[in-house]
A and B are shown apart, each in its own frame.
Chain A
Amino acid sequence: MSVEQKPVFDLDVSAVRQDFPALHQQVHGKPLVYLDNAATTQKPAVVIDAVDRFYRIDCSNVHRGVHDLSERATRAYEEARTSVKRFINARTEREIVFVRGTTEAINLVANSYGRSHLKAGDEILISALEHHSNIVPWQLLSDQIGSRLVVAPINDAAELVLEEFERRLGPKTALVAVAHVSNALGTVMPVQEIVRMAHARNVPVLIDGAQAVSHFRVDVRELGCDFYAFSGHKVFGPTGIGVLYGREDLLDRMPPYQGGGDMIRSVTFEKTTYNELPYKFEAGTPHVAGAIGLGAALDYLARLGIDRVTAHERDLLAYGTALLESIPGLRLIGTAREKSGILSFVLDGIHPHDVGTVLDRQGIAVRTGHHCAQPAMARFNVPATTRASMAVYNVKSELTALADGIRQVQEWFKL
C-alpha cells in the first residue's frame, strides 16, 4: 500500500463530480450530500454507458456462440477480467474469478478451499473487526467440518493488537481471514504484517478488500496474500458483480464451488472433467454486463490515479475528523492511526436512527445501525453508530454540511 507517495498533480474533484450523474440532485429540497459510500458508491457515466452499450448493442452469452455478438460479448467480458488483473496486479487472468460480490467470494473459499483443505480441530483466525460476511461463512464451515473460529482482539482505538494476533497463530491455525479496511470503523489493518506472520507458519491468508480497492492501491503480489475478495459496487461498478483473486496454485488444487455450464470441459454420466481456471469457478451464465461495468469502473479509477484519490481522501478524513471532534457530545468510534475514509460516531443521548432521519431531511445520506459488524459494535458497547463514509467525489463543504447537520440533530433532541 503506497499511501505515502505524493502524487504529481492534485485531483480535480469538481471534474470528478461531473462524471457522476446521481450526485447532482436534490433530496428533500436540499442538494444531496452522499456520505454512504461504504454501503455502495455512485456510478460514473462511463460505467453506466458500458452497461448500457452491452444491453443495447453487444448483448449475448459468452464463451458459446460462434456469431459476432457472442464474440463481442466474450471479448468485452474477458477484457474486463484483464482490467481487474491489471488493477490489483495479479499475475494472470486465471487468478481472477468473477463472483457476485465479496460475500460470495468468501463463501467460495470457505466451501471449496475450506472443505477440501481444513479438517476437524483446525482453526480459522479472524479479527474482532470483521463484517458478518467474514464471520458467518467460517461458522457455517465449522459447523460442517468441526473447525473452530478464533478471534484476535482490537484495542480502544479499534486497531488490531498484533501481538495478540500472533499469539493466536498456532499449530492448529489453517487459515487467516481479515478485512483490509473495517467497514464499520475505518481501520486499515496491517495486512502486510499479518501475511508475513501467517506465511512464516505456512498459513494462507484471505483478505476482504471490499472497503479498500476504491481508496488506495492494492497490489496482491506485493501483499503476498493467497485470496483477495472485493465487490464491484463499492468501487463505482455495478451491483451483483465482484472478484475473487486466488493464487493460481491454490485455485488449481481447489474443487469447483458450483456445478453447471461453462465450468466443465466434458460431461458424461460417469465422469466430468472440469474446465481450466478461472472458468472452473464460474458455473452458469455470468453477470456479463456487471463484469463489463466493473472493468470500466476500474479503468476509470486508474485514469484518475489511485494515489491522487488516496491523497484527496486523506485530506478529507483529516478535515472531517477535526470537525466532528470539535462537536461537544460527539464520540468518534474508531480512532486508528491508519484509517480510511470512514467517520463512525455516537451522540450523547441520541440514537443513531434519529440522527439518520434528521440528517436525511437535510439531504445528507449516512448509514445508521450496526453495519453488519455486531461484534465490533459490542466491543465498544454501542448497539449502533452513525457512519459517514467518503469517496473520491466528496468535498470538504459536504463535511461542513454534515457537522452543521449534527448540530441541528442535537438541537432537536435537546434534553
Chain B
Amino acid sequence: MNDLADLYQELIIDHSNRPRNFKSIDDASHAEGYNPLCGDRVTVYLLMDGDVVADAGFQGDGCAISKASASLMTESIKGKTRAEVETLFAEFHDLATGTGDPHPGRLGKLAAFSGLPEFPTRVKCGTLAWHTLRAALKHEAGVISTE
C-alpha cells in the first residue's frame, strides 16, 4: 500500500487533524467552494494589504485531502503577491493533476500532494480550496466546484 503512503503523507494527516488558519476573518474577501457529489465545503478568507496577502483563513468540512490542502494553502500564500499566488496556483495544479512540468522544489510543503495524480477521483478534493482561493482573489461571486 505504498501509494496510500504517498497520498496520506504525515504532513497531510497532521494538517487534516489539526488544520492551521481554520478561522474566518472579518472584513476579508471570501469565496465559497462546494463539491455537491462529495459534500466537501470550504470558505476561503483572504485579507489583502495592497497587493500582498496579509492573512488567509478557511472554514468548512471535508475529507483529509481537502482539509489539509486548504490548511497548507493558507500557510503558503501569506505574504505573497497576487502574481506569486497565481504562479503557486498553477504549479500546485500541475502537481495535483500530474500535468505540465511541476517543480516540487518550488512548492515547499505543498509537494506533499505529489501522490494525488495516482488517485484521479481525489484530485478534486485537493484542488477545491485553490479554485476557491482564486475566486476570493478575483472577488468572484457564486459557488466554486471542482467536480
- A residues neighboring B (CB under 8 Å): 349-354, 357-358, 361-362, 369-370, 383-384, 412-413, 415
Q: Is B53 an interface residue (CB 8 A)?
A: no
Per-residue interface assignment for chain B, residues 31 to 57, with 1 indicating a CB less than 8 Å from any chain A CB and 0 otherwise: 000000111110000000000000000
Which B-chain residue is minimally distant from A29 (CB atoms)? B1
Q: For residue A415, which residues in chain B have a CB less than 8 angstroms away from its CB?
A: 17
B39 A354 Cβ-Cβ under 8 A: no
B62 A351 Cβ-Cβ under 8 A: yes
Contact A353 B122, CB 8 Å, known A383-B61, A384-B38? yes
Interface centre among A351, A369, A370, A413 (most CB of B within 10 A): A351
Distance in Å: Cβ of A225 to nearest Cβ of chain B:
32
A369 B39 Cβ-Cβ under 8 A: yes
Per-residue interface assignment for chain B, residues 106 to 142, with 1 indicating a CB less than 8 Å from any chain A CB and 0 otherwise: 0000000000000101100100000000000000000
B65 A354 Cβ-Cβ under 8 A: yes
Q: For residue A369, which residues in chain B have a CB less than 8 angstroms away from its CB?
A: 37-39
Contact A412 B122, CB 8 Å, known A351-B62, A354-B64, A369-B39? no
Which A-chain residue is minimally distant from B62 (CB atoms)? A351
Q: Which of these binds chain A: B3-11, B77-85, B94-102? A: B3-11
For chain B, give the interface size range: 20 to 34
Q: Could you pull out 25 A-B pairs where Cβ atoms are within 8 angstroms? A: A351-B62, A351-B63, A351-B64, A353-B40, A353-B63, A353-B122, A354-B8, A354-B63, A357-B4, A357-B7, A357-B119, A357-B121, A358-B4, A358-B8, A361-B4, A362-B1, A369-B38, A370-B39, A383-B61, A384-B38, A412-B8, A412-B13, A413-B8, A413-B17, A415-B17
What would 4 more interface pairs be, CB under 8 Å, given A349-B17, A357-B121, A383-B39?
Answer: A351-B62, A353-B40, A353-B125, A413-B8
B39 A384 Cβ-Cβ under 8 A: yes
**Distance in angstroms between the alpha carbons of A318 and B1 in the assembled complex:** 31
Q: For residue A362, which residues in chain B have a CB less than 8 angstroms away from its CB?
A: 1
Distance in Å: Cβ of A357 to nearest Cβ of chain B:
6
How many A-B residue pairs have C-beta atoms within 8 angstroms? Tell me: 46
**Distance in angstroms between the alpha carbons of A384 and B62 in the assembled complex:** 10
Would you list the 3 A-B pairs with minimal beta carbon distance, nearest first?
Answer: A351-B63, A353-B63, A383-B39
Q: For residue B62, which residues in chain A have a CB less than 8 angstroms away from its CB?
A: 351, 353
**Distance in angstroms between the alpha carbons of A352 and B64 in the assembled complex:** 10
**Distance in angstroms between the alpha carbons of A361 and B122 in the assembled complex:** 13
Distance in Å: Cβ of B44 to nearest Cβ of chain A:
19
**Distance in angstroms between the alpha carbons of A28 and B3 in the assembled complex:** 10
**Distance in angstroms between the alpha carbons of A415 and B64 in the assembled complex:** 12
**Distance in angstroms between the alpha carbons of A357 and B120 in the assembled complex:** 11
Distance in Å: Cβ of A62 to nearest Cβ of chain B:
37
Q: For residue B7, which residues in chain A have a CB less than 8 angstroms away from its CB?
A: 357
B65 A361 Cβ-Cβ under 8 A: no
**Distance in angstroms between the alpha carbons of A358 and B5 in the assembled complex:** 10
Which B-chain residue is minimally distant from A382 (CB atoms)? B39
**Distance in angstroms between the alpha carbons of A351 and B8 in the assembled complex:** 13
Q: For residue B3, which residues in chain A have a CB less than 8 angstroms away from its CB?
A: 361
Distance in Å: Cβ of A404 to nearest Cβ of chain B:
13
Contact A361 B17, CB 8 Å, known A369-B38, A413-B64? no
Which B-chain residue is minimally distant from A353 (CB atoms)? B63
Distance in Å: Cβ of B107 to nearest Cβ of chain A:
22
**Distance in angstroms between the alpha carbons of A415 and B14 in the assembled complex:** 8
Q: For residue A370, which residues in chain B have a CB less than 8 angstroms away from its CB?
A: 39
**Distance in angstroms between the alpha carbons of A415 and B40 in the assembled complex:** 21
Q: For residue B13, which residues in chain A have a CB less than 8 angstroms away from its CB?
A: 412-413
Distance in Å: Cβ of B25 to nearest Cβ of chain A:
24
**Distance in angstroms between the alpha carbons of A334 and B125 in the assembled complex:** 27
Q: For residue A351, which residues in chain B have a CB less than 8 angstroms away from its CB?
A: 62-64
Q: For residue B38, which residues in chain A have a CB less than 8 angstroms away from its CB?
A: 353, 369, 384
Distance in Å: Cβ of B11 to nearest Cβ of chain A:
14
Which A-chain residue is minimally distant from B67 (CB atoms)? A351
Interface centre among B37, B38, B62 (most CB of A within 10 A): B38
Distance in Å: Cβ of B82 to nearest Cβ of chain A:
32
Distance in Å: Cβ of A348 to nearest Cβ of chain B:
12
Q: For residue B39, which residues in chain A have a CB less than 8 angstroms away from its CB?
A: 369-370, 383-384
**Distance in angstroms between the alpha carbons of A383 and B16 in the assembled complex:** 17
Q: For residue B37, which residues in chain A have a CB less than 8 angstroms away from its CB?
A: 369
**Distance in angstroms between the alpha carbons of A399 and B57 in the assembled complex:** 41
Distance in Å: Cβ of A54 to nearest Cβ of chain B:
34
Q: For residue A384, which residues in chain B have a CB less than 8 angstroms away from its CB?
A: 38-39
Q: For residue A352, which residues in chain B have a CB less than 8 angstroms away from its CB?
A: 63
B4 A412 Cβ-Cβ under 8 A: yes
Q: For residue A383, which residues in chain B have a CB less than 8 angstroms away from its CB?
A: 39, 41, 61
Interface centre among B1, B16, B17, B119 (most CB of A within 10 A): B1
Which B-chain residue is minimally distant from A408 (CB atoms)? B1
**Distance in angstroms between the alpha carbons of A194 and B6 in the assembled complex:** 52
**Distance in angstroms between the alpha carbons of A66 and B64 in the assembled complex:** 62
Q: For residue A358, which residues in chain B have a CB less than 8 angstroms away from its CB?
A: 4, 8
